[in-house]
Amino acid sequence: MRIRVITAVYFLFFAVLFTGLVQLQFVRGSYFSSLAEKNRIRLVPIPAARGPIRDRNGEVLADTRASYDVYSIPEEVTPESRSRLLPILGPSAAEEMERAGRESPLLPVRLARDVTKEQVIRLEEQRLDLKGVWVESVPIRFYPQGAVGVHVVGYVGLVAEHREALETFYGVHTDLPEGVMGVEEGLNDRLTGVMGGEELEVDNRGRRQRLLGIRVPQQGDEVQLTLDLELERLAQALLAGFRGAIVVMDPRDGAVLALASSPAYDPNVFVEPSRGALRAGLLNNPERPLFNRATMGEYPPGSTFKMITAAAALAAQMDPSRTYHCSGSFRLGNTQFGCWKEGGHGDVDLLEALTVSCNNYFYNLGLALGPDRLSQGALAFGLSQPTGILLGKEAKGLVPSKRWKKSALNQPWYDGETAHFAIGQGYIAVTPIQVARFVSCFANGGYLVSPYVVKGSSEKPRPISLDPAAIRTVRKGLFRVVNDPSGTGKNAHVEGLAISGKTGT
Mean pLDDT per segment of 10 residues, for the chain of length 505 residues? 63 62 58 50 76 97 89 76 78 73 71 83 79 80 95 82 41 65 93 80 63 81 97 97 96 97 93 72 88 96 97 94 93 89 94 96 96 95 94 94 95 95 97 97 95 94 89 95 96 94 93
| pLDDT computed for residue 159 by the predictor | 56
| pLDDT computed for residue 182 by the predictor | 94
- Residues designated as active site: 303
DSSP state of 393: S
| pLDDT computed for residue 26 by the predictor | 58
Residues 6 or more apart whose CB falls under 8 angstroms from that of 386 comprise 394, 395, 396
| pLDDT computed for residue 215 by the predictor | 81
Q: Which residues pair with 210 in a beta bridge?
A: 201
Burial of 208 per CB tally in 10 Å (0-12, 13-18, 19+): middle
| pLDDT computed for residue 359 by the predictor | 96
Nearest by Cα to 501 from 421, 405, 409, 436: 436
How far apart (Å, rounded) are the C-alpha atoms in residues 270 and 177?
Answer: 10
| pLDDT computed for residue 109 by the predictor | 77
What global pTM score does this model have? Answer: 0.81
| pLDDT computed for residue 17 by the predictor | 62
| pLDDT computed for residue 177 by the predictor | 79
**Cis omega before residue 263 (within 30°)?**
yes
| pLDDT computed for residue 147 by the predictor | 95
Residues 6 or more apart whose CB falls under 8 angstroms from that of 289 comprise 263, 264, 265, 282
